[in-house]
Amino acid sequence: MIAHFLSIALLSCTLVAQAQLFTERFSIPGRFDSFTTDEIGNVYALSGDELVLYDAKGRSWLRNSVKTLGRITGIDAFYSLKPMVHAREQGQLAVLDNTLAVQGSVINCHRTDFRRPCWPA
């Protein structure tokens, strides 16, 4: 009986400790055009042509200014190891790596045979 009570108490303490991990909050000061998060808690913040990556604790981790794309208007961080950015004015898509460097060729939406816009409005 005591062992059963002890195991329930230990389980409830574990659940409370896990719940506290997910309620930690932070704020990131600054002015951003947009931002998004990925599945591991990183925050991608856009300001003009500059992309800043913050870790899950809100600390600035990486920064990249992709001048060849122009002003970045959207970011898709669904897959955190390969986020994708879109520059609407230039009509370009670029896949980045986990260090925010452009990987492979930049996709020019105006030159390819896309029947629809290659990024949602």
Residue of 107, 78, 84, 88 lying closest to 97 (CA atoms): 84
Q: With a cut of 60, say whether residue 117 has pLDDT above it.
A: no
Q: Tell me the DSSP string of the chain.
A: -HHHHHHHHHHHHHHHHHHHHHT------S--SEEEE-TTS-EEEEETTEEEEE-TTS-EEEEEE-TTT-S--EEE-SSTTS-EEEETTTTEEEEE-TTS-EEEEEEETTTTT-SS-SS--
Q: Which pLDDT score is estimated for 44?
A: 93
Query: Per residue in 17-75, pLDDT tens?
Result: 444 455 567 788 889 888 999 988 899 998 877 899 998 888 888 998 877 777 888 88
- Please state the domain extents for the chain: 28-108
What kind of architecture, by CATH, is found in domain 28-108?
Beta Barrel (2.40)
